[in-house]
Chain A
Amino acid sequence: MTRYVESTITFPYRRSLGPVLGAFMTALTQRRILGARSGDEVLVPPMEWDPASGAELSGEMVEVGPAGTVESWTWVGSPTVQHPLDRPFAFAFIRLDGATTPLLHAVDVGSPDRMRVGQRVAPRWKPQRIGHITDIACFVPGEEPTVDGEEPTEADGPAADVAGPVAMMDYVASITYRNPVPPAADRAIAASREQRLLGLRCPICERVYVGGRGYCPIDAIELGPDTEIDLPHRGTITNFVVVTPVQYPGQTETEPFARVFVLLDGYDVVLGYQPVIDLPVDDIHVGLRVAAVWASPAEVGDSDGGGMGQSLGSLIGWMPSGEPDIDDPDLVNRIF
């Protein structure tokens, strides 16, 4: 039975808007909608270039709407978490008054029976606007724009924190993926629980691979259980890097830390990007002899350990073995 792992990946993008889209987003904070003039046409959403020819437009912006006419629509009966409304709604092409192209946005009417082509709709603004297409919470039937949760008043201006032009926008998507774990990776992790470092030896070229990589990329064959061998727990540091952590989302390290490359004794195998234990960053050097450090069963938990895609399970790092250094000027070249 193949094991599956679920992982939720967040894609936090911050994008620069440029002069045309920036003007559009800035206007949204003021509850105005702008189009881009292209000859006799007014493009909404605005573009910097002509959609057909690619010719650069003048950058002239024209205020449109705020009301418009539904040109086409479809009913979304089961909204996703990414949709602008959490109840059934219509996605519609809305041609705002004064525009020559339709804007795709949500219409909140409660039922598909109340949607029709030709329907007049107006924006329902969010009370706090940041310069983002979702500053328009949705469109609703009628001619007059409204503000979500309150009656419209002339005093209602842009949000205080976006008094100036909007130059950037954030976009965040969070996606949960479910992927199978290759059997070779699971066997490597299981072996690590017994404090064994499992290798897979290609029957054709005899190269040895670690970390549950179940293929020989040289010969392009899958490596099954019959190719497994036990690898030694000692090796030599060939190269290393000291990382000063940047506090990106998910980074747990706060102080500079090392990752080392370990050439195993007697095998042409380098374990890349390994953590070190009981070894200060300043003491790390090429040629240092190290021994594997294994998590005790109590420490194992659910972690598969490893880094950079290598599933090394209970192998949590390497510590000095106390043996004399290896003096070999070629060692430093071994990172693969």
Chain B
Amino acid sequence: MATSRDIAVIGWAQTPMVRQTDLTETQMLMRVISDALTPLGLTRADVDFTCLGSCDYITGQAFSFVSNLDAIGAWPPKRDSHVEMDGAWALYEAWLRLHEGDIEIAVVTGSGRSSTGDPALIYPMEMDPFFLAPLGVDPLTFAALQARAVIAAGIADEQSMAEVAIRARGSGDLAVLLASDYVRAPLRRHDLPPITDGAAAMVLATGARARALVARPAYITGFDHRSECHNPSFRRLDDSPSTRIAAAAAGLGERAVEVAELQAAFTHEEMLLRHVLGLGAGVTVNASGGALRANPIMATGLCRVGHAADHIFGGGSRSLAHSTSGPCLQQNLVCILEDRP
């Protein structure tokens, strides 16, 4: 598809990322959308399109996204959509929508309260309904099996995984971490993401409007997402072909990126993704701490795009954001941001 390279991220905001918030998802969105729009001098009345990413299974309430609509401002009427996906996929839909050329400003969000229940019981419901969900196969099991494959392929080892954890969290002693017990071998506590409540909102604008609103729009110059078979039984777990294809389609090979924000909830995922994307030592990966520091499910990927956009806002010229969904990196999204269209 012929794409316009003249669509940009012009701002974003995130709520405090906490283990448990007393705020409802709607309240979080109410505040974070305002926090994203206000510094740009925009109000909800300026927004032409909204797309929200959230998950009913996490909330435990059917059609929970309907109450989230209270946060977007129903008047004047705006075009609205929802994805049962991370907000990074809401961003993808908004980016597509802006290609139509008839509107200028879109807001996307990702929101989730992971603290509502036990992830080990909630997530199996989203797996293969015939062979995996009935066995209660949980995220830690999938991650551990993939970690074994990544280690066996020589892409990571338990020490390098612990080093990823220390870098991401800015703390930890290697010897102490490696002496700790396995949670789900070969994964230890430090290899796992925290449970986080949080939300993010992002503002997109088309070319002239973007340039009128901010000095340095972060132009989306490449955007693609690909999916693999839903059942890890049929996939090579020491590879991520969907990431590789999405990155190529997004134009990663055209020019080096300075910064990459990867949605790697587990330490070995970051190492696998770096390997598959071919990110060299010169690329700063997950300076934000990534999902190992804060993992607000359904917003984690959108936050990656936000941090990659911050690099452009702050004077950088090219950055990459990655988001993922499904067991063992089933589906992967790559977004390239640049300082000029």
- Which residues on A are within 8 Å of B, measured CB to CB? 2, 7, 9, 11, 13, 15, 17, 21, 43-45, 47, 51-52, 72-77, 80-84, 91, 93, 101-106, 112, 132-134, 169, 171, 173, 175-180, 182, 205, 213-222, 309
Contacts and interface: CB of A to CB of B under 8 A. Distances in A.
A241 to B, nearest CB: 19
A133 B118 contact: no
A182 B118 contact: no
A216 B44 CA distance: 13
24 contacts: A15-B129, A17-B130, A44-B233, A45-B130, A45-B231, A72-B145, A73-B145, A74-B140, A74-B148, A74-B185, A75-B185, A80-B118, A103-B131, A132-B134, A177-B61, A178-B115, A179-B116, A180-B22, A214-B27, A216-B70, A217-B69, A217-B73, A219-B73, A222-B30
Given A104-B135, A171-B133, A222-B27, A112 B185 contact: yes
A214 B31 CA distance: 13
B33 interface: yes
Interface stretch (B119-127, B202-210, B251-259, B299-307): B119-127
B26 interface: yes
A178 B184 contact: no
B141 A179 contact: no
B133 to A, nearest CB: 6
Given A72-B145, A179-B60, A133 B125 contact: no
Contacts of A101: 233-234
For B70, B71, B132, which residue has the most chain A Cβ atoms within 10 angstroms? B70
B234 A47 contact: yes
B149 interface: yes
A177 B117 contact: yes
A179 B113 contact: yes
B320 to A, nearest CB: 26
Contacts of B73: 217-220
Given A9-B60, A52-B234, A93-B145, A83 B184 contact: no
B316 interface: no
B308 interface: no
A125 B271 CA distance: 39
A15 B135 CA distance: 16
Contacts, number: 157
B122 A175 contact: yes
Interface string B169-187: 0000000000000101111
A133 B129 contact: no
A72 B184 CA distance: 13
A17 B144 CA distance: 29
A106 B30 CA distance: 44
Contact of B129 (A7, A13, A75, A217): A13
Contacts of A93: 145, 233
Contact of A133 (B59, B134, B235): B134
B229 interface: yes
B23 interface: yes
B141 to A, nearest CB: 5
A177 B26 contact: no
A245 to B, nearest CB: 19
B72 interface: yes
Given A133-B130, A215-B70, A219-B73, A179 B135 contact: no
A276 to B, nearest CB: 26
A52 B230 CA distance: 10
Contacts of A51: 229, 231, 234-235
B30 A175 contact: no
A175 B27 contact: no
A62 B26 CA distance: 51
Given A173-B133, A180-B22, 18 more contacts: A44-B233, A45-B130, A51-B231, A51-B234, A74-B144, A80-B136, A93-B233, A102-B233, A132-B134, A175-B117, A175-B125, A176-B117, A178-B115, A179-B61, A219-B73, A220-B30, A220-B70, A220-B74
Contacts of B131: 45, 103-104, 133
